[in-house]
């Protein structure tokens, strides 16, 4: 009978202190780079501060002012559109591509054209799609030449159409990397249960719904979690395509934070938006991960 043996304690207290010594530099860096700026930003959100002189404490006044600002409410609506659109399109399209090419000879080469845009910066993606979607741009000219409807649409000027087309541009950039991640997940699925299900007559949609999708759940949790966090922080593509305009109708919360802080020099209100965005991102991430992980335990 095999007996379990305890691993010898490597040096007792001295080992633990050595381990803490290795962790300490990383802990100091995270505290200085991440937590102290957040504490400072939270303090600024309770002040009136133009960037010059000394911040004047005003309590919670910036937060009611933030919610009373119509531009903030538009920004909040656009950010929610980005969250829903980013989960539905880049993640959904990435999953579809991965499933369609899985098992094909040279499947990586089918995914490569979708993966290349991920190497481009968000600002560059914005410049490319601005050329395509601007009034009188490539898309409008092509539709007019082919006598198809839509050439008269002002893709980047009318809300919420401008937000929707920017989500499509983000999909063009992000679907490939999601396809790559889902492809790795599909390759890690054991072949035995899939073959057993195939022998029992499962195929197509039934195979995907009953076997493939449940086995992809851990990876899907990660991909969707990253998509939620990324969409809440959306800045570069919007800045590259519309700069939040015309007016401020296509702003996201990240752009509103930038506008209030660095263009309007209202550091207190900008900090309040930053704190709100941080709290929303943390709450959304924690709720999603807790729900997904609890479902995994039940399964």
Is residue 7 situated within a structural domain?
no
* Cβ partners under 8 Å of residue 192, min gap 6: none
C-alpha 233/C-alpha 273 separation (Å) is 12
Is residue 139 situated within a structural domain?
yes
pLDDT value at residue 220 = 86
Is residue 257 situated within a structural domain?
yes
Closest to 169 (Cα-Cα) out of 121, 135, 225, 97: 121
Element of type H or E holding 89: none
Is residue 232 situated within a structural domain?
yes
Three-state DSSP state, 56: strand
Decide: 285 and 100 in contact? Cβ < 8 Å: no
Q: What is the DSSP letter of 208?
A: I
Quote the tokens at residue 10: 């490597």
Q: 197: burial class by Cβ within 10 Å (0-12, 13-18, 19+)?
A: middle
C-alpha 281/C-alpha 285 separation (Å) is 6
Query: Which residue range forms the structural domain that includes residue 181?
Result: 65-294
Is residue 48 situated within a structural domain?
no
Specify whether the backbone of 130 is left (phi greater than 0), alpha (psi in -120 to 50) or beta.
Answer: alpha
pTM: 0.81
C-alpha 113/C-alpha 237 separation (Å) is 20
pLDDT value at residue 151 = 83
User: The domain spanning residue 166 has which CATH number?
Assistant: 1.10.3720.10
Q: Where does 161-252 have alpha helices with state H?
A: 161-188, 191-199, 204-207, 213-215, 217-232, 236-241
* Cβ partners under 8 Å of residue 116, min gap 6: 176
Backbone angles phi, psi at 57, to 5 degrees: -60, 130
pLDDT value at residue 201 = 76
Is residue 47 situated within a structural domain?
no
Is residue 5 situated within a structural domain?
no
Q: Identify the segments of the chain with pLDDT beneath 50.
A: 1-2, 4, 299
Q: How many domains does the chain have?
A: 1
Decide: 99 and 178 in contact? Cβ < 8 Å: no
Is residue 118 situated within a structural domain?
yes
* 102 CB neighbour count, 10 Å cutoff: 18
pLDDT value at residue 299 = 47
């Amino acid at each position: 009978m095999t007996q379990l043996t305890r691993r010898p304690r490597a040096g007792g207290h001295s080992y633990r202190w050595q381990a803490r010594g290795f962790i300490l530099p990383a802990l100091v860096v995270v505290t200085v780079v991440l937590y102290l700026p957040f504490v400072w930003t939270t303090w600024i959100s309770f002040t009136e501060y133009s960037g010059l002189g000394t911040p004047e404490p005003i309590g919670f006044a910036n937060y009611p002012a933030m919610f009373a600002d119509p531009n903030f409410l538009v920004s909040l609506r656009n950010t929610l559109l980005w969250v829903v659109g980013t989960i539905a399109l880049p993640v959904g399209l990435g999953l579809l591509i991965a499933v369609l090419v899985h098992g094909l000879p040279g499947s990586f080469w089918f995914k490569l054209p979708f993966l290349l845009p991920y190497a481009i910066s968000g600002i560059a993606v914005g410049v490319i799609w601005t050329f395509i979607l601007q009034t009188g741009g490539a898309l409008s000219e092509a539709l007019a030449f082919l006598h198809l409807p839509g050439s008269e649409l002002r893709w980047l000027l009318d809300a919420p159409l401008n937000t929707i087309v920017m989500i499509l541009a983000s999909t063009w950039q992000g679907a490939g990397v999601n396809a790559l991640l889902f492809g790795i997940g599909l390759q890690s699925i054991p072949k035995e249960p899939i073959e057993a299900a195939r022998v029992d007559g499962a195929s197509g949609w039934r195979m995907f719904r009953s076997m493939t999708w449940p086995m992809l759940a851990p990876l899907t949790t990660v991909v969707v979690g990253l998509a939620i966090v990324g969409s809440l922080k959306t800045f570069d593509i919007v800045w590259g395509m519309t700069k939040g305009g015309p007016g401020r109708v296509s702003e996201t919360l990240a752009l509103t934070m930038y506008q209030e802080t660095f263009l309007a020099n209202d550091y207190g209100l900008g900090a309040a938006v930053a704190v709100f965005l941080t709290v929303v991102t943390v709450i959304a991430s924690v709720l999603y991960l807790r729900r997904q992980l609890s479902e995994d335990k039940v399964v």
